Amino acid sequence: MIEEYLRQGQNVARAVGIPSLGGAPADDGLQNRMGAMLRSFTDFASLWMDLMGKMSAGGAAASAPGAAPPVGTAGPFAAGVRPEAPEPPKAVAPEPQVAPAPQVVAPLVLTLDIESPRRVEVSIELRPRSSGLPLVVHDLRAPEPDKPRITGVRLEGVPEEERMVLCLRVAEEHPPGVYSGLILDERTSLPRGTLTVRIPPR
């Protein structure tokens, strides 16, 4: 369109410069005014084309996909779009705790080998896994220091049978009372249990 206007302006200028039909030359003042108007029109048309070119280039750049916004302008904005909420942390299931397998302890079988003309009561407390140990029984003592001890007590183990044999001898004249002593591991001298013998009164 602008180029068409330029061509029409040039045609008018040439028409003005042609002599009139009466043979008289065209007015110089009119030619000057028409030339000035043509130059103004040409300058305006050039300015208009330059401005339109810049606007077209800016619009194309703005509409290009993925184009960054012009420097010094705000945006782009996502109107009406809610920001995505952060995902909640996923709960980590605790590892199942495996209970330790119960340790199977073989029952301890105790055999009493007691030699006494009187009735006696025997109580023994022994830790597990003691049947295979060399055990020693201290002399049995009463709380009263004047009463004699019960000596010669033996506790012998039978490992292949998981059994222990208590050998106890009590004389007929031994005074009544409660007698007790420690059971030790002969190798380490560590206690493994206790033995208590009660001789009731006659």
Distance from C-alpha of 16 to C-alpha of 187, rounded to nearest angstrom:
141
Residue-range domain boundaries for the chain: 2-19+26-56, 109-199
Residue 113: predicted pLDDT: 92
Q: Which residues of the chain have pLDDT under 50?
A: 18-26
Tell me the per-residue pLDDT of 99-118, one tens digit each, with 9 for 90 and over.
777 666 566 788 899 999 98
Nearest Cα neighbor of 8 from 52, 47, 45 is: 45
DSSP 140: B
Residue 168: predicted pLDDT: 94
pTM for the model: 0.48
Q: Is the dihedral of CA 108, 109, 111, 112 positive or negative?
A: positive
Q: Which residues contact 6 (CB under 8 A, 6 or more apart)?
A: 41, 42, 45
Residue 190: predicted pLDDT: 93
Tell me the per-residue pLDDT of 63-104, one tens digit each, with 9 for 90 and over.
555 555 555 555 555 555 566 767 777 777 777 777 777 666
Residue 18: predicted pLDDT: 46
